[in-house]
Structure 1
């Protein structure tokens, strides 16, 4: 059985980038232990279309900071073909 691929959106360009990366790495570790195939994704360093090219089926948003809290689901899921889970910090 193929493991589900989940992207963890973390980092970004906000002033809280460091804590977002720390939180995102913890989420990546937990999801990996739970048996998921995890794709760490930093929207500051990579373009959104790369996720669909990598076969990602879901995204877990762990972005921090003002911009992230103002609607990452809308911003990052525009035109996305898979569900997004959002963590608001």
Structure 2
């Protein structure tokens, strides 16, 4: 009986570790397009810091964030199947 409980405990630990590493991978995938759009958005704002350019910079960065989330979620769901 103790071996079964130990085996289930090991499965839970491994499942948590697998889930944790997949979450880290998801975050890394999201970060890539976020950085690729965040840097130009920041540069647009810094070149002439006005409210209009701030909105444009934030909009560009949000596009990258949404694209990263969509891309990472597609990859994650593909891996689960």
TM-score higher than 0.5: no
Identify, as 1 or 2, the structure richer in helix: 2
Identify, as 1 or 2, the structure richer in strand: 1
Query: Structure 2-normalised TM-score?
Result: 0.33
Query: Structure 1-normalised TM-score?
Result: 0.30
Task: Give the greater-gyration-radius structure (CA).
Answer: 2
